[in-house]
Amino acid sequence: MRLVNRCRCLAVVGTLAGGLLAMPLAQAQGAVPLAERLPLCAGCHGQDGNSVVPENPKLSGLDAEYLVRQLEDFKSGKRKSPIMSGIIPMVDDKEFKALGEYFSGQKPAPGKAVDAKLAAQGKEIFDEGIVGTAVPACSGCHNDDGSGSEKYPRVAGQNVAYVVQQLLNFKSGERANDSKALMQAVAKRMNEKEIRAVAEYVATLTGGEQ
Amino acid sequence: MIKAIPFALLLLLTSWQVTAMADAADSVKSPLGYGSKNYVWGKMTREQADILRLTGDAKRGKEAFRGCRGCHKADAAGIVDGTYPRLTGQHPSVVIKQVTEVRAGVRINPKMDPFAAEHAVSKQEIADISVYLATLETTRENGKGPDDLSAKGKAVYKKHHCAKCHGDNGEGEEAKAFPAVAAQHYGYLLREMRHIKDGTRGNSHPEMVKVIKPLTYNDLEAVADYLSRLPDYRLATKGDKK
């Protein structure tokens, strides 16, 4: 019972926050051109997709198809986020492709670890996994430099707080839109300390770009 | 209320998974595997037969193998302590048999399960991966035993007719899905033989269980050491005209 209540609570807060933010643009019904839409996204993700708010993901350099799929999943409710769920009803599906391609084409800004000592421990997990609890190495799917591929998203340079939250969400099943449930399987085997460490290291990766 | 039920289920499932994983290190018997009432070695699952009919493609296999690299490593050489076996040069028929029998619950492998299950890897991808692995060279040192027991190990291997199925050079046999065992990691070989001996490797060949049962733990250590020190069978049999 308690759980259900909490969920509803979050949803209400989310809708409120989303509604407030989106208010000035609420009159924009139907698809609008990219240039008109961008300011809404830029408020949280940065004009060039390099969000400086640690909780908001950087979108720069991520695969365009991946970005579009996330927008679709926010809209259908397959991926839940109190904030994006409030924003996305304002955006017409026809705009997704242009938004995805725009942010995908932006140059990723380098990320930064908050705690360098933790990041060093995180490197071990990213490169080698955790053998005792059968956590596969992140590098196996996301590449050594975090650049990702068609099937596995880029993670290099991503904001620490965002990565921690996503891994916790995969672990709890709150985020369950990952293809083939692979990321859920990985995160379920990790504890919070390991998650924090690996997120710190992820932030330091460059994805092969300098 | 409705929401609460699946959550409770999820918790149950998660804790079950963790227990199963902890146990696996020390042997869980498969209800479908060796020792169960209707177990027939080599009785193909429908899926295994389907995959064997497909034509694999090494280039696609390389891409599909990404999801396996986190454990078996980018070069498919596994890890030296043998937790993750080497897969380079393994026969395609063996790779297909092992993966499909894990999927069917005949061989128990909860560590690998979510990454090799039906929802994660398609039949075609298994065919592709099996062909890809066969093309890979072994370049990294494999794990050997702590002492060189290869003389004793070789004698045990000969005396107990292991070569009948695994070959004089540990090369196995593609046509019969007998695994290549040469240059595999010591830790993996020893663990598997222990599971074969105590009946917990689900897909054991009954004839092999018969020959491994009487061996002592020291014998098993010696055989594992011997096999781990053999060269990759593809090197050993190159230019072997006999």
Predicted local distance difference test score (pLDDT) of residue A18 = 43
Is A14 in the B-facing interface, judged by CB distances under 8 Å? no
Contact B97, B41 (CB under 8 A): no
Q: How many Å lie between the alpha carbon of B232 and the closest alpha carbon of chain A?
A: 24
Out of B4, B10, B21, closest to residue A134 by CB? B21
Q: How many Å lie between the alpha carbon of A5 and the closest alpha carbon of chain B?
A: 10
What residue ranges define each of the domains in chain B, with the CATH number in brackets? 18-241 (1.10.760.10)
- Shortest CA distance to A106 belongs to which of A64, A150, A61? A61
Structure tokens given for B89: 């040069």
**How many A-B residue pairs are in contact by the CB < 8 A criterion?**
62
Report pLDDT digits (tens) over A50-83: 999 999 999 999 999 999 999 999 999 999 999 9
What distances in angstroms separate CA A60 from CA A63, A82, A97, A169, B157, one per listed residue? Answer: 9, 22, 15, 22, 58
Q: What percentage of chain B exceeds 70 in pLDDT?
A: 86
Report pLDDT digits (tens) over B38-76: 888 888 999 999 999 999 999 999 999 999 999 999 999
Using DSSP's 3-state secondary structure scheme, residue B173 falls into strand
Using DSSP's 3-state secondary structure scheme, residue B187 falls into helix
**Mean pLDDT for the stretch of residues B211-236:** 96
Fold for domain A116-202?
A: Cytochrome Bc1 Complex; Chain D, domain 2 (1.10.760)
Range in A1-5, B106-110, B171-175, B238-242 the model is least confident about = A1-5
Predicted ipTM of the assembly: 0.85
Task: Please name the residue of chain A whose CA is at the shortest distance from the CA of residue B14.
Answer: A188
Predicted local distance difference test score (pLDDT) of residue A29 = 66
Q: Which one is predicted more confidently, B100 or B239?
A: B100
Q: How many Å lie between the alpha carbon of B226 and the closest alpha carbon of chain A?
A: 26
User: Is the Cβ pair A140, B81 closer than 8 Å?
Assistant: no
Q: Look up residue B154 and give its amino acid.
A: K
CATH number of A2-104: 1.10.760.10
Q: Where are the domains of chain A?
A: 2-104, 116-202
pTM above 0.95, yes or no: no
Q: Measured between beta carbons, which residues in chain B are less than 8 angstroms from residue A137?
A: 69-71
User: Is the Cβ pair A4, B4 closer than 8 Å?
Assistant: yes
Q: How many Å lie between the alpha carbon of A34 and the closest alpha carbon of chain B?
A: 34
- Using the predicted structure, report yes or no on whether residue B98 has a pLDDT greater than 50: yes
